[in-house]
Structure 1
Amino acid sequence: MRTYFKNLAWSLLLLSLACAKAPKQDDSTASMPVYKDVPYPQDYSIKYAINKEDLNLFSAHMDRNQLIQVASSQGILRTHDGQFLYPGILMEDKTYRPLTDKKITAITLYKNQFIYLDDKAVLSNAWAGTLYLKHNLPRATIFSAGKDFGFLISDGGTLQYVSKSNNSWTGAFANDTVLTIKFDHNSNTFYILGKNSIAAFDPQKQTLTTIFKGEKFNSLAILGNKLIVGTLDGYMEVASDTGKKIGETHKNLPWTEITYIENIDGNLWFGSTKGAFMLREDGKFNYYYGKRWLPGNMVNHISKANDGSILILTDAGLGQIVYKEMTLYDKAQYYEKQVRNRHIRLGFNSSLVDLDNGNIDSGRLSDSDNDGLWTTMCLAGEVFRYAVTESEDALQNCMESMDAMERLFNINKVPGFPSRSFERSGYIERLGDPERWQHTDDPEWDWKSTTSSDEAIGHIFAYGVMAELMDNELKDRAIVLIDTLMSHIVRNDMYMVDFDGKPTTWGRWNPEYVNARPKMVGDRKINASNIIGMLQTAYHFTGKEKYKEKAFDLMENHGYLDNLMWPMKDVAMAPDDADDWSKMLSESWNHSDDEMYFVGYWGLYKYAFNDTLKTKFKEAIIDHWEIERPEKEGAWNIMTALTGTQEFDLEEAAWYLREHPMDLVTWDIMNSHRKDITFMEPNFRNQTITEVLPPDERPVQRHNGNMFRLDRIGKDGGEEYSAGDIWLLPYWMGRYLGVISAPVN
């Protein structure tokens, strides 16, 4: 009892620390709907690869002692090592030496104990080794456990029933080949699947009856009073009592080449030649494909482990799908460690690249064109975290990132110009885009030029959040950087001017450039939206009239208010008579623009010059959100909540956060082969299917990616993304806005 109360006290203390500071809410968000952060089952995979060639894997089970064994062409294997993100291997099990001398061909479970089949008997080490039932099928490779220590075995042509009560039976499986045997506990019946038939064996009456005929069967499961029969072109249902087929063959699946079926707790699990999937109650599937989940995609066997995980055996090894009860807050704690342990380069939020087949200890931190943007998004998330929790760790993270952001400005000689990135000298030729790198006066350092509007809006967003929510030295430092960048832009006639005295390719907000685009071209709207939000932020925190005057000049004399209010549904390709640049800009929907819009909405809405503009800006934001709704993008939904609207798809935002994979390695992903999704005709938005797939079934990507992207091939295990901008920003912003609760036990 003493230990119980001690643990309870610690739990309450930790919970109080997690909720140390109530979210700051203004009037616009005080009455918002709130997602209650209760525990949910978070899935992830532990993988075990084979370490031998010419090795065939047959089945995998876990016993009551949580030991995993695999039946293979080279005897019994066991798992060695293996953790999340650190794969183990399957190796020979030498634990019990006498078994290594036997010709074990199959393994199953009975009463959660391992049962083995060899050329002479059904045997086990449980029950003090007393289970040893001899049989007469020296080539037997198939068996199933029934009741009362009874087992039905087969060599493919003959069946033999053996039991501890010596109630033996032998019979031929006429005119067919046995593929598998499953036992139905409810009816006390063994069902035998052949290539072209299904038979039922009654161990009490010792009768074998053919109940259904067809062709090209390969797998079998029992679900209530139905037999689920797999083929290489979908699966069918057969009534076990009448032997009649129910309905049509099911082909609306992730993949129709079924290799194995199992009923696990009332849910049908399917193995296929392209991964595994589980049929949900809503008729949709959870799909496990690629090395994010499995060592290989050819599935041989599926079973439920004694710890609640699912064992999926493939031709290349074992994937153990683990379900851990956790809250979004728990997930955030994991991601915070992921970022700090592997993704901080000189204070920047960076990717880990050049991984050796997903080995996260083999990679290197990479610079990026968007070091400024990815870092500001991560930084803003940490500011929100600090505002909610007053965490000293979050404050230190902000300090370190702010050091990097300030150095972007002072490492080059251009007043007020933020570099894209910087790195120690001597690496230019080895870095991406070497032509963009410039030397500094310090021979130890180089900096990257050609900074774009992506970085600029990210800077102003993060500094605005910091200036708004911090009450320490970071507030003043943020305001200085807001003024520094915006002074550069205003001084240079609404351009970002590089070291060569020329505007950068994308840092252009001058009306001569912006209004040269036809109205339907997205760049006209995005540039107007971003610069007004940036100028408002600068005026709000510095009080300098030049920013307010410039913003109203752009809105009243150059149509920027009309530009940013242009309906999203009318963003389209440039007309045939437009200039080539406008045509290039509008070939398809730009998801990087979506990211820039929403990052900029903080300053556009929150620091609006007056209530009339604020109402208009809210209209523009919700108009944008409406067209983004099919993507179920967690960040965009939560950022829309900033406006105080009651409808911003909170459940979809929580779905995005829950369903996001813990594994952020860029494994190859394929979905375009799936038969359970409805494809759309090619369109301007590049929406490929009618309903977006969960984040853990599609390629890992940042918010500037197309959420309807189905495939990514070529980076298989080569890179790990940081959760700082992808996940932690929307989560902590949701916590700050009060639309995601603190963790609830």
Structure 2
Amino acid sequence: MKNPMRVLFFLFFLNTWSVLGQVHADKPFWQDYAIKYYSDAPALSSVAADRNGTIQVLSGNGLLHTYDGRFLYPGTLVPEKRYRTVQTWKLAAITAYENQLIYLSDKAVFSQAWAGKVYAEHQLPGARVVAGGKDFTFLVSDGSALHLVKGPNVLWKGQLPADEVRQIRFRNGSFWVLGKKGLYILSGEKLIRIASGEGFTAFDLTAKTAYVGTANGYLAVDLATKKATLQQKVPVTDITAVAVVDGKAWFGTSDGAFSLRADGKYDYYNGERWLPGNQVTAIAPGNGKSVLILTTAGLTELTFKQMTLHEKAQFFDQQVRSRHIRNGFNASLDGLQKGNLGMGYLADSDNDGLWTSMYLAGEIFRYAVTKEQDALQNCTESLDAMERLYTIHPVPGFPARSFERSGYISQLGDPERWQHAQQAGWDYKATTSSDEVIGHIFAFGAMAELVPSLKTRAVTLIDTLMSHILEHDMYLVDFDGKPTMWGKWNPEYVNGFPKNVGDRKLNSSNITAMLQTAYHFTKKEKYKKKALELMEKHGYLENLMRPMKEIGQAPEDADDHAKHMSEGWNHSDDEMYFVGYWGLFRYAFNDALKAKYKQSILDHWQAERPEKDGAWNIFTALTGTKTFDLAEAVWYLQEYPLDLIDWNISNSHRKDVEKLPANFRNQTLKEVLPPDETPIHRHNANLFSIDRKGGNGVSEHSAGDIWLLPYWMGRYLGVISAPTR
């Protein structure tokens, strides 16, 4: 037998090492996703599931059941015809009892389970509420009278004092009855009032607490003391349904659903990522780890599945490869109709090169960790696309934004930016910007370091691009002989910004990283010489070291361009900084510079901490610091939804969040919301942007740049472990 003290010491040692060493052990967590069933039937009022997986819904058109639904591929609610006698049933409610379906008609409580032997006449022609108790007893109400029935017998009759019955539950060995004005328990043959109020709508309870919904929040009633506390700091106060499922309290509202977490905060489900409609009418336990949420537009089977981050990565890898690769690029699937994935097309983008660079980097890190040939093939195919950006453009060393077959320019994004290529049958997109370029250098540098079989091709591209920039006086010069709007790293341009304008710091940081990367892999002195010249003669080192707290709006005497560029915090700049930090820190010319770069990176990370962006926390780990927010990075990766469709989502109406006044960083809330409660955001977006309206379900994002990059980078840097169970 093992010595228990030695085991405890060993576990303590492992835990201490994990905290100090900042390594997340990839154990299973609960991942939620929605299986939706749409319906245009009126008055969807109640829902229940049985042990066989049958889910039924009562509507104004009669009994319905689910048909043909799975994640991302919604089903429908269709008329229940499997029992031919169903046409004669005049049903008022359905519920579950001992994992079987129970029906309430105008005559009786009955079931098709137990060989149809369960049949209890209730003598209430207007019956509309029912709950099952011990030994096949059922408490039934028509809103006024209450009848306790079993088989052919009515065991007890009663009614609420000057109140109307809204709902009945059997919990903790007793029947509980909710009226509009009170909550009661049936003790023997007596109804005892537990709580009083007005406008009660729905309820459920645990062993210690009753949760009573109202139009203005919910009451949490301590069953021991009978003290009731009104909770109004909730996502939505208009409560329409309450259910306790697996010990957790769930609330339906007129604008979505939410559940109460152990820490007293709420998980909020709004929009068609989660629900067919936001008007919730009922909530009930589903099969396994699932919750059934019925709305006026259909049903959601909200499913919880244990999953490791690695398993989530495998899911997202399939998502990318099956629906998001266009000519080797990492692309969005656009043109959807209400999220129908069978109707979309692979869209071109201004940032085909950047999004592909970020996906490619993730696959590079994956290959470095696993040596999987599938990852290497993915790298090769995306590198093919990236290489062609350079060969399809007529100017040596200039990467196009994108390319497509000829004849479709009018259908592409920004048609005026497209040009006919010298390669017959193809067009390319010009005007490439600095965010594309820094993304290229990041991916090519990682590839040159970590994928030996592709190193030569990657280094050639680095050299080709950086030679172009040096030969054109630190500008990116397009087919028309002019610098592009953003491809400018010349000191005259960079230092033309006031010191506190972000572009001065950003461009200095990026070009230093790019030149260091080029020198590291080519050993050509021209790159090192230019980098040192920019840092020492033109102040680029001072620029990139400037603390983020000094970055703000341009002064009054600045030119219009500087004022425009500094109206607010630019989250695309954050993306450019962080992907550039790979080359800035990793390929620093010497240890003294590396120490300075680390200081600058950590300063930026401090400014970004409120957003809890998984990528920026993982990028910060490349400095070797022990104090980056690994827990927040893991939270981001775990909380990111599996459904990456652009659904409309609303959060600005919520009562449980603390809003901030307008500010330079556009931080709208004191605390960022989980990514599965907000619109889908790439890393260049403001994670405090909490609403999305218009174009509901018209596109699906790729997980390649959003999720797979930070996960595989975390695996490569050793801050996320291989999966353990």
**Same fold, judged at TM 0.5 (above):** yes
Correspondence 1:511 to 2:491: yes
Please name the residue that 2:703 is paired with.
723
Please name the residue that 2:186 is paired with.
201
Q: Answer whether contact 2:289 2:305 (CA < 8 A) is retained.
A: no
1:575-586 → structure 2 map (5 Å cutoff): 575-586=555-566
Please name the residue that 1:664 is paired with.
644
Please name the residue that 1:300 is paired with.
281
SS in structure 2 at match of 1:238: strand
Q: Answer whether contact 2:644 2:700 (CA < 8 A) is retained.
A: yes
Please name the residue that 2:213 is paired with.
230
Correspondence 1:39 to 2:24: no
1:37-436 → structure 2 map (5 Å cutoff): 37-50=26-39, 52-53=40-41, 55-164=42-151, 166-184=153-171, 186=172, 188-202=173-187, 205-240=188-223, 244-247=226-229, 249-436=230-417
CA distance in 2, matches of 1:177, 1:317: 28
Letter in 2 for 1:246: A
SS in structure 1 at match of 2:120: strand
Residue 420 to residue 30, structure 1, CA distance change in 2 (3 Å): farther
CA distance in 2, matches of 1:42, 1:211: 37
Shift of 1:166: 2.9
Letter in 1 for 2:665: R
Shift of 1:33: 2.0
CA distance in 1, matches of 2:19, 2:220: 52
CA distance in 2, matches of 1:646, 1:211: 53
SS in structure 2 at match of 1:700: coil
From 586, 608, 623, give the equivalent of 1:606.
Answer: 586
Any stretches of 5+ residues in structure 2 without a counterpart? 1-17
Letter in 2 for 1:232: A
Residue 644 to residue 235, structure 1, CA distance change in 2 (3 Å): same
Q: Answer whether contact 2:163 2:181 (CA < 8 A) is retained.
A: yes
CA distance in 2, matches of 1:67, 1:162: 26
Letter in 2 for 1:559: G
Please name the residue that 1:442 is paired with.
423
C-alpha distance after superposition, 1:88-140 (max 9, x if no partner)? 00111111111232112211111111111101111011111111111211121
Letter in 2 for 1:180: Q
Q: Answer whether contact 1:32 1:738 (CA < 8 A) is retained.
A: no
1:455-494 → structure 2 map (5 Å cutoff): 455-472=436-453, 474-494=454-474
Letter in 1 for 2:325: I
From 528, 543, 548, give the equivalent of 1:563.
Answer: 543
Letter in 2 for 1:226: T
Any stretches of 5+ residues in structure 1 without a counterpart? 1-28
Q: Answer whether contact 2:256 2:269 (CA < 8 A) is retained.
A: yes
Q: Answer whether contact 1:75 1:105 (CA < 8 A) is retained.
A: no
Letter in 1 for 2:390: F
C-alpha distance after superposition, 1:518-544 (max 9, x if no partner)? 010000000000000000000010111
C-alpha distance after superposition, 1:339-382 (max 9, x if no partner)? 01000001100000010100111101100000000000000111
Deviates more, 1:95-104 or 1:478-487: 95-104
1:587-626 → structure 2 map (5 Å cutoff): 587-626=567-606
Letter in 2 for 1:48: Y
Q: Answer whether contact 2:405 2:426 (CA < 8 A) is retained.
A: yes
CA distance in 2, matches of 1:502, 1:142: 75
C-alpha distance after superposition, 1:635-683 (max 9, x if no partner)? 0011111010011111111111111000000001111011111111110
Deviates more, 1:161-170 or 1:357-366: 161-170
CA distance in 2, matches of 1:456, 1:208: 74
- Aligned identity (percent) is 60
Where does structure 1 differ by over 4 angstroms across 4 or more consecutive aligned residues? 239-242
Shift of 1:60: 1.2
Shift of 1:174: 4.0
SS in structure 2 at match of 1:674: coil
Q: Answer whether contact 1:66 1:307 (CA < 8 A) is retained.
A: no
Letter in 1 for 2:600: A
Shift of 1:211: 4.3
Deviates more, 1:451-460 or 1:67-76: 67-76
CA distance in 2, matches of 1:200, 1:349: 59
Q: Answer whether contact 2:121 2:153 (CA < 8 A) is retained.
A: no
Shift of 1:245: 3.9
C-alpha distance after superposition, 1:321-341 (max 9, x if no partner)? 111111111010111110010
CA distance in 1, matches of 2:100, 2:410: 60
Residue 241 to residue 352, structure 1, CA distance change in 2 (3 Å): same
Q: Answer whether contact 2:122 2:154 (CA < 8 A) is retained.
A: no
Shift of 1:311: 0.6
Q: Answer whether contact 1:589 1:684 (CA < 8 A) is retained.
A: yes
Q: Answer whether contact 2:276 2:295 (CA < 8 A) is retained.
A: yes
Shift of 1:182: 1.5
C-alpha distance after superposition, 1:223-276 (max 9, x if no partner)? 22433211110011334466x4423x1101011111111122221111111111
Shift of 1:81: 0.6
Q: Answer whether contact 2:199 2:214 (CA < 8 A) is retained.
A: yes
Compute the TM-score of the two structures, normalised by the length of structure 1: 0.93
Deviates more, 1:433-442 or 1:290-299: 433-442
Q: Answer whether contact 1:73 1:105 (CA < 8 A) is retained.
A: no
Compute the TM-score of the two structures, normalised by the length of structure 2: 0.96
CA distance in 2, matches of 1:30, 1:630: 21
Please name the residue that 1:17 is paired with.
none
CA distance in 2, matches of 1:465, 1:546: 21
Residue 33 to residue 577, structure 1, CA distance change in 2 (3 Å): same
